[in-house]
Amino acid sequence: MSDAPIRVVLADGQRLFRSGLGLIVDSQEDMTVVGEARDGGEALAVIDATRPDIVLMDMWMSPMNGLDAMKRLSAVVRRGSPSPGPRVVMLTDPEPGRRVLEAIRYGAGGFLLKDSAPEFVCEAVRTVHAGGAVLAARDITALLDASADPVRRVPPEYAMLTERERRVFAAVVRGASNAEIADELYLSTSTVKTHVGTILRRLGLRDRLQIVVYAYENGLSAEHRPRRRPPDGAVQPTARTERAG
């Protein structure tokens, strides 16, 4: 295992926010900021010059926003670039909507609300760098609630999943961790990881975030919608990250 720090580029139009994020990242022994950018176009140039491992990219920069920059990065990889490119974590506001779905579709390793706790941001960087996807239960709720579900049409590959695999699929869409799924279905965490891997392979998906997108696009999200937040005063679910498997 390499001892080299995780190389991070920060792309956000607000200098003060960038500075604060940089202080958080640089305070970690296993991370270092190697570049900053004020918009998507500048981010592409900085990424090309610094070859980072991770990019924390705001969706709403201008003149080029983060989603358009994500599309450009995806196109470079599809054209057979010798480098797979950095993993990207999109930074967004509390109402992400369809643009988050697009970002995931173009290869984003996840997304974070811009008011996320510093420790969650750092853990997200580590998780995405390790090949995982960033999941936060409240973010998924906002994502699925942002738009109406399309007409339900069960894809043939989803219909081929076993009953247990569908229950695991439903739990992933709700934002449950492997440990929570294991408790719910009386399985070991290793068995849950195996089921998640099988689901990804059978549905032709890359990671857990794409399972959420798949559920939305095929009208499956309504039946697997996360539980509503408990009333004020009740215990709130904690945000977490989960590796792809």
Q: Given this model, what pLDDT does residue 25 score?
A: 96
DSSP 8-state secondary structure symbol assigned to residue 9: E
Domain boundaries, the chain: 6-134, 149-245
Inform me whether the pLDDT recorded for 96 exceeds 90: no
Q: Given this model, what pLDDT does residue 125 score?
A: 94
Average pLDDT over residues 165-189: 90
- What's the rounded Cα separation, in Å, for the pair 28 and 199? 35
**144-148, 167-171, 211-215: which is most confident:** 167-171
Lowest mean pLDDT among 50-54, 83-87, 124-128: 83-87
pLDDT exceeding 90 applies to what percent of the chain? Answer: 45
- Listing DSSP states for 114-146 in one string gives TT--HHHHHHHHHHHHTT-BB--HHHHHHHHHS
Q: Given this model, what pLDDT does residue 165 score?
A: 96
β-bridge partners, 133: 242
Lowest mean pLDDT among 63-67, 91-95, 128-132: 91-95
* Cis? peptide before 63, omega within 30° of 0: yes
This model's pTM is above 0.75: no
Q: 73: pLDDT confidence band, cut at 50, 70 and 90?
A: confident
Average pLDDT over residues 105-124: 86
- Per-residue pLDDT tens digits for 47-67: 999 999 999 999 889 999 998
Inform me whether the pLDDT recorded for 93 exceeds 60: yes
* Higher-scoring residue by pLDDT: 189, 141: 189
Q: 157: pLDDT confidence band, cut at 50, 70 and 90?
A: very high
- Listing DSSP states for 189-235 in one string gives HHHHHHHHHHHHHHHT-SSHHHHHHHHHHTT-TTTTPPPPPPPTTSP
CATH number belonging to domain 6-134? 3.40.50.2300
Inform me whether the pLDDT recorded for 106 exceeds 70: yes
Q: Given this model, what pLDDT does residue 111 score?
A: 81
Residue 67, CA distances (Å) to 101, 134, 150 in order: 10, 17, 23
Inform me whether the pLDDT recorded for 128 exceeds 60: yes
Q: Do domains 6-134 and 149-245 have the same CATH topology?
A: yes
Q: 113: pLDDT confidence band, cut at 50, 70 and 90?
A: confident
Find out whether 74 and 51 touch, Cβ atoms under 8 Å.
no
Find out whether 25 and 17 touch, Cβ atoms under 8 Å.
no
CATH superfamily of 149-245: Response regulator (3.40.50.2300)
- Per-residue pLDDT tens digits for 218-240: 878 655 554 444 333 333 333 34
Q: 36: pLDDT confidence band, cut at 50, 70 and 90?
A: very high
Number of CB atoms found within 10 A of residue 101's CB:
20
Q: 192: pLDDT confidence band, cut at 50, 70 and 90?
A: very high
